[in-house]
Structure 1
Amino acid sequence: MPPWVAFAPRSTSLWSGKGIDRFSTSILRCRHAAIRAPSVWSFRSASAHVSPTLINAAASIPSRNEELYKALSELDTAAESFVNKSRLQLALQGLEVEDPVVRVAVLSLSGRENAQRIAQLLLADPLGVERQWEKQLQTTNVEDEKPVLLRYGDENDAHSPSPLFQALSIPSRTLQTHNLEVLVSTLNTHVSSVSPASTLDDSKDAILVPKLQAPSVRGGPAPYPVHKSLVLGDGIESAVAYGRFTSENIDTAGDIVKVVINVSTILDETDTPEESTCLLVNIDTGAEALGSFRKSVANSEHYEQGWYKSGMHSLSHWLTQDLQLLDGHLKPTVKRLVESVVEDTEASILRENTLDLGKYAASSTPQATRESILEHLDSWAEKGHTELRDQLDKAFSAQNWHKISWWKLLWRVDDVGMITSEILERRWLVDAEKSGIYLAGRMNQAGFPGEIRIYPSNTTSQNSPQSNQTHSSSTPPPTSEEGPMNVSTDVRISTPWPTQISASRTQLIRETVPPLQALAQRLVLTTMSTTSLAAALSTLFYVSLQGFGVFESGAIAALGLVYSLRRMQKLWESARDGWQEEVREEGRRTLKVVEDGVRELVTGFQRPVVKGGAVEERRKARGAIKRAREALEKL
């Protein structure tokens, strides 16, 4: 049991992530100083019966493990930024005693009920009756988010309340023989977005270092590292969810992580090869086989067939695999944990080196390449402005644009949105956007970043006197109809520049087309209302006033019609002309933003400075990794 679990009732601030790291570091340093001295660390159990699975600091480290222990302790100090401290501490605990406890996690992808059932099947004694712990495990509230920790011991053992898990002592021969602990919990595959480079590391940590969350304690979840993990899914949906969670197998040999899918079909023995990373099981068949054998020993043949067909035999073998304690050697599972920690640390250092080399290569672009890219940028900008002018001239002189002239608006009012959106999608910088993608590919090949810094923009702020000005590689601060918005000119947004044209087009469609459509509908409604009102008034005068003839009444109706049509013509043509100008101006502004941003990026990109301290840290970390590998080879 990790020290922070033992100390949990005494401190609540220790549950934060930083508190755990500081506490772990101090424990490791104390151990390093006491390698050749008797240990003074001891932890008391609340139980009257001391479970043999309790991990206590030994009085002295076995002599065969001293060199490896020292190398791993140095790795914590030298590679502090690259090593997984939780897994490293578990590895160090495994070197402190002759027969270390092995932790196995059973993590369910779809609720904890099946995970508790499969743990019961793996640890139950088929020769005995159903024990109290099995009933207690079956009746444990699966809605409670608190995981269940299974340890060897008497069923009547009392456990100190823990905010992290519910502990059960069970007299299982499997746990006793192999000095095993089993944590039953869930695995959340719905992770937040992460960078592609860290996706595999994050998923591996989630599986091999489950996070135990204390609902009543402030701070982040506490890590609980394990030696092996069983990931249990239910049906094809769980398999798909696991595939999305991690892009590749964490361990191709299947000895660290075993993916188990519960199916409802009857399995053949060939469907569950033990060496496979993924197994198919039928929990119901396994439970039925165990129940039949407990009813009568005469059902032994039925039990054996059902146990094999359920896939539980392969899973039971995996659970106890590599847990043998050989004289003069580490448990294979403990040794595999040490190897995995060393390999992961080395991979983290290599990844950091690769990032630095990539930055260096990207920044050391020859001057000739820069000049070539700038020439292509000038050509792209020139062609973009030409395209904007020619294509919009064709669009605004085409038949479609004339379909929404003012005198056709009465029967074409519903086509305004469709026609204006079509102009933007097919005529507004389409070729410039495609050419920009080609130019971005050349820049990426030359090592330049693919993002530029721009100011937040507002396409409807054309009336601002600042809208025609440019500032380096950015657009001016946004304005509103009331004036400039209160936005700091130093605030910029990082965006991939090839998508700037597409984003501006989308913004134009979203912010200018609906108001134009609404204006057209409002003008048509106003025209029809004014005309109808004039006609009604002329009719009323004709009926109610003597001497008011048809000619006079028609004059009033005609006056209303002419006034309403003239008003619609004036307002609609003004709106159409304003929309045309706004579309042209936004196109010029977008081209200018992209051109200035890319030009500043190409001319102003400087070589990043690699800090000497980081290089020295990685050098020391590689030395510690080398010493750890040498100590492993001797074992």
Structure 2
Amino acid sequence: MPPKLRGPLPRSLSRLTETGGGGGGGLFYCPSCATWRRTLSTATTGRSTTSRREHPSDSHHRRPASGLATSSAINVSGTVPARFRELYEALDRVRETAAEQVSLSRLQLAQRGLESEEPVIRVAVLGLNDAAATRKLVRLLLADPLTPREEWEDLLDSYDAESSRGLLIRYGEHSEAIPNSLVPTITVPSNLLKKGNIEILVTSLGAGSIPPGGSVTPDTFLVPTVTIRASHSGRHNVVRYPVHRSIVCGRGVDGLLSYSGLISRSNLKKDTDSVHGAIDLGVKDEVKGADRVSFVDIDLADEALAKFRESVQNAMVYERGWTGSGVQPLIDWLSAVRKDEKLAPALETLIGSLLDAAEEGVQAKEAQKLREQEAQTVSDEVRESLDRSVSVWAERAHTELRDSLGEAFASKRWRGLAWWKLFWRVDDVGMVTSEILEKSYLCQAEKEVIWTGGRLKQAGLLKEPEDQPDVIVPPPTEENSETAVELAAPADEQPQWPTRITSSRDELRNTTVPSLQALAQGLVLFSFSTTTLTSALSALMYVSSTTGLYEAGTVAAVGLTYSLWRQQTKWESARKFWETEVREEGRTALKDTEELLRALIRDGGRRIEDVTETEARAAIERARKALEDVK
């Protein structure tokens, strides 16, 4: 006789799945308080008004313009054992720093498993193309051959759930339906559920959860969805029910092809051992499957179980049929146990998979940021073209510096400043030298720099004026009036090209030209004064009648000769030094300008930002270390 049930199981289960029809309201599940509530209807409008409290996380899963509202089947709470606390907190930190890169529902399932020394292992049995075969397989996995057929087995075989509905099976001393549950739930006195601390979700792998093309994510198998009727208005809640492991059940060749297509498109990685296929295909060979798929014969296993229940004398028939059906390897796969003081294998695999997915997501996010930065920068082809133009400009500029200054220093006006002409052209030194700097000092090169700067700005290698920091202008005084006027110039009037050539010309004009002018005037003054003094001394000696005319004239001649020699030596040396200084200053200005242009081409227009997700990587590394410590 079947064990006595505490209540009519089919009737209790039907009350859980029914919804309010034309009555006063319907049932909906409140994720915040984890209970079922009834909607209230307003008689005046004829439209139902739902009063509920929503969990904060539900807002992330709601579809406003749709008839569906999603929620998660996990609400993390409870006390965490001491040896799991560090790992629990590390996963919580991963959730905060890498929420977009990790499946939050699976992460909550992992944290829920760490709240107990004996975590509940959730297993989903997903039907591919035959719901009846899926339910029958679950019954065979849980049935006890030493007891007669129980009422829950009949219920499971006849359960006419919709394609998107589900049934949750938990362990219980008695078979009964559990009210106020998220999905229709029954308890079954199964040794498999008890020893492995397992609960099984029976649902279908609906077409809506499988993308038509591309890769299949682990969530397709490990985060199944079940739909629950929320009210008589037709609104539904789509509940994501994360699990640790999944069995995908198919029937016949069509089921095998569907499962093979899904697995070939999947990218499970560490979740490979968490997904197993069970294909109802009458394979008579001794090889009943592989690591990721098992071939079972559900009818043969059902017949063997029925024979043994008829009489224990059919034990040999049961053994041959049960072994040949291929169901026992599935039971062994489900009942994998952990070692003492170690983390449950299913929970360890789940956490490792989550951390790998989070790390891959962080890497993908960093790569995306890097691509965005590269897309906003100037292409390498444009930079190479500009770099070649700078090389051509530098060659022409050095040639211009050599030729134009050579012509200027060989011109008549510069030769007119010979040492012996200084007596009547000393005032022309400043004018002639300034004219050389103005007309022969890299004039064409400066114009080409302005044109090159325009090309750089057009390519986006120069900063816009508004990007420059504001300059605080001090109040003008007598001492800094000119400086204040220069600083007060608007940003758009500041040159947007290298001005090293202009600044070097101004520096030569302001420093060397006055010095050269002063030197010329000093030499002429010294020559006149020396000649005058020696002539006066010579006349005095002649008048005093102490020396003759020739002796007195010798003193004047010595003074004149010395002053002219000194003027010639110093002035010619100063002219050569100034020519050399102008040439060297020009070369330095060209070199600095070229280096600046190449630096702008190389580094200009680049968004230099650190794309590394430091906090997320640190949180993932901490979680990995904590996982290694509890293994």
What TM-score do the two structures reach when normalised by structure 2? 0.51
Alignment partner, residue 623 of structure 1: 618
Alignment partner, residue 216 of structure 1: 230
Aligned residues of 1:153 and 1:171 also touching (Cα < 8 A): yes
Q: Find the partner of 2:242 among 210, 222, 225.
A: 225
- Deviation digits for residues 155-186 of structure 1 (CA, Å, limit 9, x no counterpart): 45452255x52111111111111111000000
Distance 1:220 1:360, change over 3 A: farther
Matched residues in 2 for 1:140 and 1:330: separation? 36
Q: Find the partner of 1:367 among 359, 381, 385.
A: 381
Alignment partner, residue 175 of structure 1: 193
How far 1:252 sits from its partner (Å)?
Answer: 7.0
- Map 1:374-523 → 2, pairs under 5 A: none
Matched residues in 2 for 1:607 and 1:133: separation? 71
Secondary structure of 1:130's partner?
coil
Alignment partner, residue 254 of structure 2: 237
Gaps of 5+ in 2: 1-28, 39-49, 63-73, 387-603
Matched residues in 2 for 1:608 and 1:195: separation? 37
- Deviation digits for residues 520-565 of structure 1 (CA, Å, limit 9, x no counterpart): xxxxxxxxxxxxxxxxxxxxxxxxxxxxxxxxxxxxxxxxxxxxxx
Aligned residues of 1:152 and 1:171 also touching (Cα < 8 A): yes
Matched residues in 1 for 2:84 and 2:270: separation? 28
Alignment partner, residue 389 of structure 1: none
Residue identity opposite 1:200 in structure 2:
V
How far 1:75 sits from its partner (Å)?
Answer: 0.9
Secondary structure of 1:214's partner?
strand
Aligned residues of 1:285 and 1:307 also touching (Cα < 8 A): yes
Residue identity opposite 2:364 in structure 1:
R
Matched residues in 2 for 1:607 and 1:90: separation? 46
Q: CA RMSD in A?
A: 3.5
| 1:353 and 2:359 are equivalent in the alignment | no
| 1:343 and 2:341 are equivalent in the alignment | no
Aligned residues of 1:16 and 1:222 also touching (Cα < 8 A): no
| 1:9 and 2:36 are equivalent in the alignment | yes
Q: Find the partner of 2:157 among 138, 151, 154.
A: 138
| 1:290 and 2:309 are equivalent in the alignment | no
Distance 1:367 1:195, change over 3 A: farther
How far 1:238 sits from its partner (Å)?
Answer: 2.5
Distance 1:248 1:144, change over 3 A: closer
Distance 1:249 1:125, change over 3 A: farther
How far 1:235 sits from its partner (Å)?
Answer: 2.1
Aligned residues of 1:253 and 1:277 also touching (Cα < 8 A): no
- Map 1:572-591 → 2, pairs under 5 A: none
Residue identity opposite 1:209 in structure 2:
V
Distance 1:83 1:279, change over 3 A: same
Alignment partner, residue 554 of structure 1: none
Q: Find the partner of 1:20 among 45, 50, 58.
A: 58
Secondary structure of 1:225's partner?
coil
Secondary structure of 1:200's partner?
coil
Residue identity opposite 1:226 in structure 2:
V
How far 1:113 sits from its partner (Å)?
Answer: 1.3
Alignment partner, residue 91 of structure 1: 110
Distance 1:358 1:327, change over 3 A: same
How far 1:131 sits from its partner (Å)?
Answer: 0.9
Distance 1:342 1:308, change over 3 A: same
Alignment partner, residue 558 of structure 2: none
Alignment partner, residue 334 of structure 1: 347
Q: Find the partner of 1:250 among 268, 280, 286.
A: 268
Distance 1:611 1:103, change over 3 A: farther
Q: Find the partner of 2:101 among 82, 85, 90.
A: 82
Aligned residues of 1:117 and 1:138 also touching (Cα < 8 A): yes
Aligned residues of 1:342 and 1:625 also touching (Cα < 8 A): yes
Secondary structure of 2:168's partner?
strand
How far 1:79 sits from its partner (Å)?
Answer: 1.1
Distance 1:221 1:291, change over 3 A: same
- Map 1:299-338 → 2, pairs under 5 A: 299-321=314-336, 323-324=337-338, 326-338=339-351
Matched residues in 2 for 1:98 and 1:130: separation? 34
Gaps of 5+ in 1: 25-53, 373-605
Matched residues in 1 for 2:289 and 2:227: separation? 34
- Map 1:188-207 → 2, pairs under 5 A: 188-189=206-207, 196=214, 199-201=215-217, 204-207=218-221
- Map 1:21-40 → 2, pairs under 5 A: none
How far 1:10 sits from its partner (Å)?
Answer: 4.1
Alignment partner, residue 67 of structure 1: 86
Matched residues in 2 for 1:282 and 1:317: separation? 17
Residue identity opposite 1:159 in structure 2:
I
Matched residues in 2 for 1:55 and 1:221: separation? 16
- Deviation digits for residues 82-111 of structure 1 (CA, Å, limit 9, x no counterpart): 121101111111111111111000000113
Distance 1:233 1:16, change over 3 A: farther
- Deviation digits for residues 447-477 of structure 1 (CA, Å, limit 9, x no counterpart): xxxxxxxxxxxxxxxxxxxxxxxxxxxxxxx
How far 1:352 sits from its partner (Å)?
Answer: 2.0
Distance 1:245 1:318, change over 3 A: same
Q: Find the partner of 2:295 among 261, 264, 280.
A: 280
Matched residues in 1 for 2:241 and 2:298: separation? 27
Secondary structure of 2:193's partner?
helix
Matched residues in 2 for 1:56 and 1:132: separation? 34
Matched residues in 2 for 1:139 and 1:330: separation? 38
Aligned residues of 2:170 and 2:193 also touching (Cα < 8 A): yes
- Deviation digits for residues 279-325 of structure 1 (CA, Å, limit 9, x no counterpart): 2111111111111111121222221221121110111111112x33x
Residue identity opposite 1:149 in structure 2:
L
| 1:267 and 2:284 are equivalent in the alignment | yes
Distance 1:72 1:191, change over 3 A: closer
Larger mean CA deviation between 75-84 and 8-17 belongs to: 8-17
Matched residues in 1 for 2:90 and 2:253: separation? 44
Matched residues in 2 for 1:18 and 1:105: separation? 27
What TM-score do the two structures reach when normalised by structure 1? 0.51
Matched residues in 2 for 1:267 and 1:6: separation? 52
Aligned residues of 1:71 and 1:631 also touching (Cα < 8 A): yes
Aligned residues of 1:286 and 1:312 also touching (Cα < 8 A): yes
Aligned residues of 2:210 and 2:220 also touching (Cα < 8 A): no
Distance 1:119 1:193, change over 3 A: closer
- Deviation digits for residues 376-420 of structure 1 (CA, Å, limit 9, x no counterpart): xxxxxxxxxxxxxxxxxxxxxxxxxxxxxxxxxxxxxxxxxxxxx
Distance 1:16 1:118, change over 3 A: farther
How far 1:117 sits from its partner (Å)?
Answer: 0.6
- Deviation digits for residues 11-50 of structure 1 (CA, Å, limit 9, x no counterpart): 97889997436699xxxxxxxxxxxxxxxxxxxxxxxxxx
Matched residues in 2 for 1:336 and 1:173: separation? 24
Matched residues in 2 for 1:15 and 1:194: separation? 36
Matched residues in 1 for 2:299 and 2:192: separation? 21
Aligned residues of 1:113 and 1:142 also touching (Cα < 8 A): no
Distance 1:140 1:97, change over 3 A: same
Secondary structure of 1:270's partner?
coil
Secondary structure of 2:101's partner?
coil
